[in-house]
Copies of this chain bind each other. A is one copy, B any other.
């Protein structure tokens, strides 16, 4: 190993460790820390972030990366040094474009705007949040200005989230999705009584839910000596390293579905981190992949696995074991139908598979217009209502259930929403390929055997970490272009089965 590569690996390791420290400190803040600690914890996060940023933008690091790229030019793209240098160079190029003052103003305003948003949402009062959002938009436009001109300025917003698709490509994708899902939404809206989810309502003590969710997570492939499952307000997954994976969920004691599907979703994210090749530890590529690929894994465990008919043959006895009174007389078919209730609703995070992507389309369209300057912040509640009616057939009765529902904009995050839909689309494209390789998948699920699926995902996707981006990962599996048809077809079939 050359001296350059040795020095690069040391710097990669340092950055990996500092990011890991930040991950732990932020997880602790959300999961363990008592409320009084928040203010001084903010200082810890600020100091660690600043040191990490200094490590990234250090000019000597830039020179080493350039030298390393030269030295490894002849190696295959999958070579861990070469792939790490490429990824770190991209990330560093992005970071050095942003002046420190802009970066810290964005972070500072995020903290302020979050507090304003919480209040505004509680009071159903978008007007009080509008000036803070206005400022976020202004800062975001300054951010976009630091990058070379793109066909659409929103392309820069997307690239921020590792998304490899342009605004134009995604507009095409969403046009297809809107066309394709219209009949599905019409079908389920016309026949709302065909299914209900009463079977998930009742009384479910928190500790019993936690034990049951943990059992499902382990069955899906979580390793007990690596994973933790804890409680938070908003479920998430995070991993300081592939040897230390943490998922969280929430427990509604009157409704078991939210925590249950939330746990499966985060388990999907966790399997990605858990599956990264251990040899990639302390390298930039030593974490799970891009935002949209990551989301394809979480949505796959939640929906293709956890909402499949076969899954409930395995799950029913477990539900019965933990909650014998509630599930003693329930059958697997009922659980399956209840897990697949489709019912247009106002809130994205509670949306079913039929309408979920329409919620994303709405945000995607609004964000584009904001970035183009075609839309005034003050008009957001109105445009939100119009689009909700058009896409989902509902009108929010107030701002809290409409334009104020998501946390994202309070942090100035524009451009990431489409990753959720891309995840849905990609997962559905992978599914026929997985089934071709594993023809017994349904029988395996019914028997509670999820390790063959995990091994497939690990071999084809997880183990490579961030070696490849989304397009290249899919190309290597045999998928040449993003295509919403498998997703549409699978949801249409389910809708037909339950609501037809």
- Interface on A for B, CB 8 Å cutoff? 13-14, 16-18, 20-21, 24-25, 28, 32-37, 39-41, 43-44, 46-48, 51, 223-228, 240-241, 243-244, 281-282
Partner of A224, one of B13, B34, B282: B34
Docked CA distance A301–B262 (Å): 44
With the chains together, A155 CA to B48 CA distance in Å?
36
5 residue pairs, one from A and one from B, having the closest CB atoms: A37-B244, A17-B47, A40-B241, A36-B225, A17-B44
Report if A47-B34 is in contact (Cβ < 8 Å); known contacts: A39-B243, A40-B240, A240-B40: no
Known: A21-B25, A224-B34, A226-B36. A43 touches B243 (CB 8 A): no
Given contacts A24-B24, A24-B25, A25-B21, contact A37 B243 (CB under 8 A): yes
Assess A44 versus B21: contact at CB under 8 Å? Given A240-B37, A244-B37: yes
Contacts of A28 in B (CB 8 A): 24, 28
Residues of B within 8 A of A34 (CB): 224-228, 244
25 contacting pairs across A/B (C-beta < 8 A): A13-B43, A17-B43, A17-B44, A17-B46, A17-B47, A18-B47, A20-B40, A25-B25, A32-B228, A33-B244, A34-B224, A34-B227, A35-B225, A36-B223, A36-B226, A36-B244, A37-B240, A37-B243, A39-B243, A40-B240, A40-B241, A40-B281, A40-B282, A44-B240, A51-B51
Name the CB-closest residue of B to A226: B36
Q: Which residues of B contact A226 (CB under 8 A)?
A: 34, 36-37
Number of copies: 2
Give Cα A48–Cα B55 distance, bound, in whole angstroms.
Answer: 13
Instruction: Give the complex CA separation of A244 and B241 in angstroms.
Output: 25
- Give bound CA distance, A17 to B48, whole Å: 8
Q: Nearest-CB distance from A10 to chain B (Å)?
A: 10
A228 — which chain B residues lie within 8 A by C-beta? 32, 34
Give the secondary structure class of A's interface.
helix
Residues of B within 8 A of A37 (CB): 226, 240-241, 243-244
Q: For residue A38, which residue of chain B has the nearest CB? A: B243
Min CB distance A468 to B, Å, is: 23
* Distance to closest chain B CB from A55 (angstroms): 9
Q: CB distance A244 to B13 under 8 Å?
A: no
Q: Which residues of B contact A44 (CB under 8 A)?
A: 17, 20-21, 24, 240
Chain B contacts for A281, CB-based, 8 A:
40
Set B21, B32, B43: member contacting A48, Cβ < 8 A: B21
CA distance A223 to B16 in the complex (A): 35
Contacts A21-B47, A34-B228 known; 17 new A-B pairs at CB < 8 A: A13-B43, A13-B47, A16-B43, A18-B51, A21-B25, A24-B24, A24-B44, A25-B25, A28-B28, A33-B244, A34-B224, A36-B223, A37-B244, A39-B243, A41-B240, A41-B244, A51-B51
Residue of B nearest to A40 (CB): B241
Q: Which of A28, A44, A47, A228 has the most CB of B within 10 A?
A: A44
Closest chain-B Cβ to A31's Cβ sits at a distance in Å of: 9
**B contact residues around A48 at 8 Å (CB):** 17-18, 21
**Residue in B20, B32, B36, B282 whose CB lies within 8 Å of A32:** B32
Bound form: Cα–Cα A105–B273 in Å: 33
Contacting residues, chain B, for A36 (C-beta < 8 A): 223, 225-226, 243-244
Q: How far is the CB of A492 from chain B (nearest CB, A)?
A: 42
- Give A40 to B244 CA distance when docked, in angstroms: 9
Residues of B within 8 Å of A244, CB to CB, are: 33-34, 36-37, 40-41
Contacts of A225 in B (CB 8 A): 34-36
**Shortest beta-carbon distance, A227 to chain B, in Å?**
7
**What CA separation (Å) do A20 and B224 show in the bound complex?**
28
A35 CA to B281 CA in the complex, in Å?
Answer: 17
How far apart sit A24 and B28, CA to CA, in the bound complex (Å)?
Answer: 8
How far does the alpha carbon of A243 sit from the alpha carbon of B40 in the complex, in Å? 8
- A16's nearest neighbour on chain B, judged by CB, is B43
A172, chain B: closest CB distance, angstroms:
42
Which of A18, A32, A35, A228 gathers the greatest number of chain B CB atoms within 10 Å? Answer: A32
Residue picked from A17, A227, A241, most chain B C-beta under 10 Å: A17
Cα–Cα distance between A47 and B19 once the two chains are bound (Å)? 11
